[in-house]
Amino acid sequence: MKFKLLYLVILVLISGATYANAEDENFFGRPKSITFKGENENWYVVHHMYLVDTEIEYDTKIRYKGNNEKMKNLPYLNYMITDEIGNPGLGGTFSLNESNEFHSGRTECSGCTYLDKNKEVTFIFGKWEEYDEIVILKRE
């Protein structure tokens, strides 16, 4: 009886340890936050990513520096962030709402890639639209 109980306790401990390591394997030892910044003649972008347990969150700030008033009045612009090999980090839409800035606020990102292994990423404005512009964001 004691042997069976000891065997069961050891089996539970080993199973629990294996489960914890398997879940943390991808994110163990990785930085809890990363920041990418970049600009060109029309745009300034700051993109933060956060690792919260096994979830990824992001916060993106976009400032329009150009002088095209039409850009400020568009109902939305699409954007996409890709890494060096073309894997999408995330994408979405934003509107300047007749101003020069957009701030996403901290948002949970389901299905995106944590880009902590990248030194730079590509921020693409307006992909698949009439307007298309790229800003390279460098990791700080």
On whether both 7 and 74 belong to a single domain, the answer is no
> 53 and 119 share a domain?
yes
pLDDT for the residue 60: 95
In percent, the amount of the chain with pLDDT more than 90 equals 39
CA distance 131 to 137: 19
In terms of domains, do 92 and 61 share one?
yes
- Per-residue pLDDT of 35-82, as tens digits, reads 999 999 999 999 999 999 888 999 999 999 998 888 888 888 899 998
CATH number for 135: 2.60.40
pLDDT tens digits, 6-48 = 443 343 333 333 333 223 336 778 899 999 999 999 999 999 9
Q: What is the pLDDT of residue 25?
A: 39
Give yes or no: residues 49 and 95 share one domain.
yes
Put residue 40 in one of left, alpha, beta given phi > 0 → left and psi -120 to 50 → alpha. Answer: beta
Task: State the pLDDT at residue 92.
Answer: 87
Largest Cα–Cα distance of the chain, in whole Å? 81
CA distances from 34 to 59, 85, 121, 130, 137 (A): 11, 19, 12, 31, 12
Same domain, 25 and 37: no
Q: Which domain holds residue 67?
A: 33-139
Confidence category of residue 4, pLDDT binned at 50, 70, 90: very low
Burial 25-48 (b: 16+ CB within 10 A, else e): eebeeeeeebebebeeeebbbbbb
Distances from the Cα of 71 to the Cα of 18, 49, 53, 65, 118, angstroms = 52, 26, 38, 11, 30
pLDDT at position 120 is: 94
Same domain, 45 and 70: yes
Verify that 25 and 61 share a domain, yes or no.
Answer: no
Q: Are residues 8 and 58 in the same domain?
A: no
